[in-house]
Structure 1
Amino acid sequence: MTESDERYTHGHHESVLRAHSWRTVENSAAYLIPELRAGATILDVGSGPGTITIDLAQRVAPGVVTGLDYSADAVARAQENARQKGVENVKFVVGDAYNLPFEDDSFDIVHTHQTLQHVGRPVDVLREMRRVVKPGGVVAAREVDWAGIIFYPELDALSRWQSLYDAVHRSNGGEPNAGRRLKAWAYEAGFTDVSGHASVWGMSSDEDRGWWGETWSQRVLSSSFASDVQELKLATVDDLEQLSKAWIDWRDDRTAWLAMPHGEILARP
């Protein structure tokens, strides 16, 4: 991304980057695994803290993987993550998803995860991804569908959180229910061979509930979500504190469960 009228809904608060650092190829890009091969070149658009990118690099070594993000802070964190893991066949650059700084036909695979939902012109981003993928290559995208989230217990406060999230996301120029639209967007972007898939993040174990509930209890108070809600006058600080407590209550309930559906595509020019 970058467009002056678009804003990344989550921002780059520490709680957000910590949540995103949970992501791996296994839990966030398993549909892409059959396409991976040693020596492949990959571009990861919207790479964030780089955990998926680094995982991809380890799987296709000695192929070089490039992560691109518009946030210099996210790129710096990704570079440090790669250094700590000793992964050398990966690099990270600051760049614009609408104007990728690469020649045509540069990569075997162009991948993005949870990026298209945050841009105002996702079809244009997909066209750019199509431009830089090699003939015979594949563009892969996975996006959540926020309206499809199911949680238990059915807490009123979490229903309120879901409504607020939708309003904030749309106010920032994105489409929170991108998952269901991926296949249509890909055909509009000019792809001729598009396969659609679906997968679900499930949060039920003590560990998963712990990190998800804890990070969201902080995000509703301290991340860009919190400031946007107040700027839009959708909720007060007291309201947000109630949402934070609801996420803690959900986290601590051993019967709690959450499912987040995702759309996935593999698209070929």
Structure 2
Amino acid sequence: MTQYKYIHGYQEIEQERLRHQAGVIEKPIYDFIDFSENQELLEIGSGVGAQTEILLRRFPHLKITGIEYEAKQIEKAEKNLHSMGYTFPQVQFVQQDARNLDLDSKFDSAFICWVLEHISDPIQVLKSMKPHLLPNAKVVITEVFNATFYTYPSIPAIMDYWKIYNDYQIQIGGDPQVGAKLGDLLEASGYANISLRSGGFHLDSRNSEDKKIVFNYWKNLMASGAPMLLEEGLISEAEIQAMQKAMDELTEMEDAIFYYRFIQATATA
């Protein structure tokens, strides 16, 4: 399969970060999702199975087919899920390009989380998925809206790094603001009953422990792009260290503020 650039890379440390990230941000995403009446779920971009774990824990009756482009991620996902006792036929992972799906089954639900931001043509993914969904199948998509990231105080070492990070995402064909476009993307792809909600974090001195956890999670998220940014010559080691130092300072600052919104869409096929 053709190799595409992926800002986070596939190193083992990154694979574990994805699992940790899923736990940190679980409640803001999943407290608004209900697959209790569904049976067969198609997960696009299942990666290392970080979201698959949560889906099966919250909805243990589901049978999930995860679609993933990268073989290394599937290998890690199978290891992770099998260690928790989840095996075929309750869960299986299929290596395919989500823009050109070729599946034998039809599903009554679909789930996409933090995937379309990495794809140059998200409409192609949504159109490719639709023939594999049953009529009125429930679709839930959660995506980034990176322009909403804000800290108080604002520190140039962080915001300059964030701009380089997001500009590179665009350069390699992604879209760090794709969440804001989900309504239009779903409508253009032929879905119905589209609704959108904004979720995320607004943490200040009233949420000191949660704020520390999220600042650390966000520092690791930004650092996950550092190897690719270094390889491309877009950033220096000194700039990476300055960003991390500034994030650590904010973590310990009592009056610091963390703010970020993602967009969650629901629709039917």
- TM (norm. structure 2) is 0.85
Report if aligned partners of 1:119, 1:174 keep a CA contact under 8 Å in 2: yes
CA shift in 2, pair 1:200/1:211, >3 Å: closer
What is the distance in 2 between the residues matched to 1:74 and 1:92? 10
Q: Does 1:216 align with 2:224?
A: no
* Structure 1 stretches of 4+ moved >6 Å: none
What is the distance in 2 between the residues matched to 1:87 and 1:57? 8
What is the distance in 1 between the residues matched to 2:264 and 2:217? 27
Partner of 2:77: 78
- Once the two structures are TM-superposed, the CA of residue 193 in structure 1 deviates from its matched residue by 2.4
Partner of 1:30: 31
Report if aligned partners of 1:129, 1:139 keep a CA contact under 8 Å in 2: no
SS in 2 for 1:126: helix
Question: Which deviates more, 167-176 or 129-138?
Answer: 129-138
Report if aligned partners of 2:215, 2:250 keep a CA contact under 8 Å in 1: no
The alignment's C-alpha RMSD in Å is 2.5
CA shift in 2, pair 1:133/1:180, >3 Å: same
Partner of 1:206: 209
Partner of 1:43: 42
Partner of 2:61: 62
What is the distance in 1 between the residues matched to 2:165 and 2:219? 12
Report if aligned partners of 2:17, 2:220 keep a CA contact under 8 Å in 1: no
Report if aligned partners of 2:179, 2:263 keep a CA contact under 8 Å in 1: yes
Any unmatched runs of 5+ in structure 2?
none
Deviations, residues 203-251 of structure 1 (Å, cap 9, x unaligned): 654366347526735853xx4x224323444322222221222222233
CA shift in 2, pair 1:63/1:213, >3 Å: closer
Aligned residues: percent identity?
Answer: 23
Question: Which deviates more, 84-93 or 191-200?
Answer: 84-93
SS in 2 for 1:32: coil
SS in 1 for 2:191: coil
Partner of 1:150: 150
Number of residue pairs matched by the alignment: 261
SS in 2 for 1:31: coil
SS in 1 for 2:160: helix
- Once the two structures are TM-superposed, the CA of residue 202 in structure 1 deviates from its matched residue by 5.0
The AA in structure 2 aligned to 1:21 is R
The AA in structure 2 aligned to 1:155 is I
Which of 7, 17, 20 is equivalent to 1:19? 17
Deviations, residues 150-191 of structure 1 (Å, cap 9, x unaligned): 223321111112211111111110110011000111111111
SS in 1 for 2:32: helix
Report if aligned partners of 1:130, 1:139 keep a CA contact under 8 Å in 2: no
CA shift in 2, pair 1:265/1:256, >3 Å: same
Report if aligned partners of 2:162, 2:222 keep a CA contact under 8 Å in 1: no
CA shift in 2, pair 1:133/1:263, >3 Å: same
Report if aligned partners of 1:218, 1:244 keep a CA contact under 8 Å in 2: no
Any unmatched runs of 5+ in structure 1?
none
What is the distance in 2 between the residues matched to 1:228 and 1:188? 33
CA shift in 2, pair 1:11/1:205, >3 Å: farther
Report if aligned partners of 1:213, 1:250 keep a CA contact under 8 Å in 2: no
Deviations, residues 61-105 of structure 1 (Å, cap 9, x unaligned): 33311222212222222222212222342222322111223136x
- Once the two structures are TM-superposed, the CA of residue 120 in structure 1 deviates from its matched residue by 0.3
Report if aligned partners of 2:147, 2:177 keep a CA contact under 8 Å in 1: yes
- TM (norm. structure 1) is 0.85
